[in-house]
Amino acid sequence: MGNTRKRLLLGIYIVAAAVLFTYYLFPSDTVKGYIAYQLNATDPSLTVDIARVKPSFPPGLKLHTVQLACTGIELVEVQQLIVRPVYASLLGPEKTYRFKGKLYAGTVKGSLHLNQGQKTGAMRIDARVEGLEIEQIRMIEEMSGRKVFGMLAGDIQVRCQNPSSLEATANLELSDGKVELLMPVFNYKNLAFTSVKADLVITQQNLTISRCEIKGQPADGDFSGTIDFRKPLGKSMIGLEGTVNPHPALLALLRKTLPASLVPQTGAGDDGIGISLSGTLDSPGFAFQ
C-alpha cells in the first residue's frame, strides 16, 4: 500500500510539473508567429497582432488582446479568445476549431473551418456576438465619421476561398442606441432609437446593406444601398435610399418647413418620406425624393 501511494504521489507530481512547465515555458512567440503566418497566407491584406498566447484546459489556446486588421484598418479587437480543436476533424482536410471570447464588454462564440485540401486554401467562420458596446468598436466610428452608441447582437459569417474573395455577411440588431449628428437636422443634434435591424455584406470593395429597419425617435425608417470603400476611408462613396416615417412632433416641424407634397399624411398605409443619401463619409448629403 505504501509503494502504491508513493507511485500515485510521484505520478501526480510529474503531471503537475509538466503542466506547470508547459504553461510557463510555452513558446508564445512561436505560436503567435504561426497564427499570423497562416492568416496572412489565407489573405495577404489581413494582419493579426496578439499580445500573448497560453495553453488552456481542456487542451487549446488562450489568446489575449487579439487585434485583426485589413489593409491597415482595424476590424476587431478581442480582449480574450479561447480556441480548441474538434479532434475528429484533425484527421481530414478540413480542420474545425471552436472558439469563445470577450470583446467590447460582450461575448463571441462560434467555429472556424480551415480547408487545407484546396490549393488556394479556404476559410469559414461562423460566429454569434452578444452584448457588444458599439461605442467601443473603432471601425464603426471610423466608417460613419460620428459617435454611435448602443448594444449589438447578431450572427456573422466570414468566407474566404482565395486572397481576393474575402466576404463577410451579418444579420445584426442594435438596441437602445444613439447616433450623433455632425450637424443639427431640424434642431436635432442626435437620433435615438430602440432598435436597428440590418442585413449586411462586406467585401474589400464595398459594404452592401440589403435591409436596415429603424425604430426610434423622432422617426422610424428603412433604407438599403451601398458604400464603396476608398482610401482614405472618409472618401468612401455613399449610395443609400429609403423612407422616413416621422413621429408626430417631427411631423409637425416638417409641415412648417417642407413643401406639403413631401410631407406624408397620418394614417394607415403611409409610405413615409423618400430620402437618399449620397456624397462621402466625410461629407455626406441627403435629399428628399
| pLDDT tens by residue, 249-277 | 777 777 777 676 666 665 434 567 888 98
172 pLDDT higher than 90: yes
Please report whether residue 238 resides in a domain. no
pLDDT, the chain, mean: 79
Helix (H) or strand (E) holding 27: none
In this structure, is residue 287 part of a structural domain? no
Buried b (16+ CB within 10 A) or exposed e, 231-247: eebeebebebebbbbbe
Could you read off the pLDDT of 185-222 as tens digits, one per residue?
A: 667 777 888 999 999 999 888 999 999 999 988 888 99
Residue 74 has pLDDT above 70, yes or no: yes
Sequence-distant (≥ 6) Cβ neighbours of residue 39 within 8 angstroms:
46, 47, 48
164 close to 187: Cβ distance less than 8 angstroms: no
Q: Residue 272: inside a domain, yes or no?
A: no
In a domain, 63, yes or no: yes
Residues ≥6 apart with Cβ < 8 Å to 280: 230, 234, 235, 236, 237, 238
CB 64 within 8 A of CB 77: no
Residue 54 included in any domain: yes
Q: Express each pLDDT in 27-63 by its tens digit.
A: 567 767 777 777 777 667 778 888 888 887 777 888 8
Taking 50 as the threshold, does the pLDDT of residue 178 lie above it?
yes
Boundaries of domain holding 187 = 2-217
Here the cell at position 59 is 487542451
Q: Is residue 153 part of a domain?
A: yes
Share of the chain above pLDDT 90, in %: 26
Q: How much helix, strand and coil, in percent to the nearest 5, is found in the chain? A: 25, 55, 20
Residue of higher predicted confidence among 245 and 258: 245
| Residue 280 DSSP code | B
- Confidence band (pLDDT; 50, 70, 90) for 175? very high
Could you tell me the pLDDT band of residue 130, with boundaries at 50, 70 and 90? very high
Does some domain include residue 258? Answer: no
- CA dist 193 and 181 (Å) reads 14
Instruction: Report d(CA 136, CA 123) in Å as an integer.
Output: 27
| Contact predicate 86/97, CB 8 Å | yes
Q: Is residue 67 part of a domain?
A: yes
Which amino acid makes up residue 259?
A: P
The C-alpha atoms of residue 90 and residue 13 are separated, in whole angstroms, by: 31
- The number of folded domains in the chain is 1
Element holding 238 (H helix, E strand): strand 237-246
Whether residue 101 has pLDDT greater than 90: yes
Question: Given this model, what pLDDT does residue 10 score?
Answer: 46
